[in-house]
Amino acid sequence: MPVTRPLEDQDALERARINQETARLPWRELQRFFAQGRVIAVVPELDLVELALRCSRDEAQTIAADLEQGRLAPVSDDQARAWLEADAEVWAVVVKPWVLVQDRA
């Protein structure tokens, strides 16, 4: 008989999985994803893991609110160029089909 876990336990496990998949990467390694329009910048004030969790749950209303308030946005050409020129590293996590990035420099 399968074991069912309370929702809080499932959330904690998913949060831990996402946290383990989060990494600090050189921006240059994300260039091909940027060229495909798949990289989303996240303001430093947001918790990257929590946002990735919301995206994985497809919490469309919450994500739309973050987009409207400018807390999320596709990485601009200017930002991509600046990160490339600075040889910057960003925190990144994949939530298919997106790569969420956060600059905490």
pTM (two decimals):
0.88
103 Cα distance to chain centroid = 11
From residue 77, how far is each of 7, 34, 35, 50, 85 by CA, in Å?
Answer: 40, 9, 10, 26, 12
Confidence of residue 26 (pLDDT cuts 50, 70, 90): very high
What is the rounded distance in angstroms from the CA atom of residue 59 to the CA atom of residue 83?
A: 29
Amino acid sitting at position 7: L
Q: Does the pLDDT value for residue 1 go beyond 60?
A: no
For residue range 36-88, list pLDDT tens digits in order: 999 999 999 999 999 999 999 999 999 999 999 999 999 999 999 999 999 99
pLDDT computed for residue 2 by the predictor: 56
Cis peptide before 26 (omega within 30 of 0): no
Q: Does the pLDDT value for residue 5 go beyond 70?
A: no
Confidence of residue 10 (pLDDT cuts 50, 70, 90): confident
Q: How many CB atoms within 10 Å of residue 55?
A: 21
Q: Which position has the token pair 């420099």?
A: 105
pLDDT computed for residue 7 by the predictor: 64
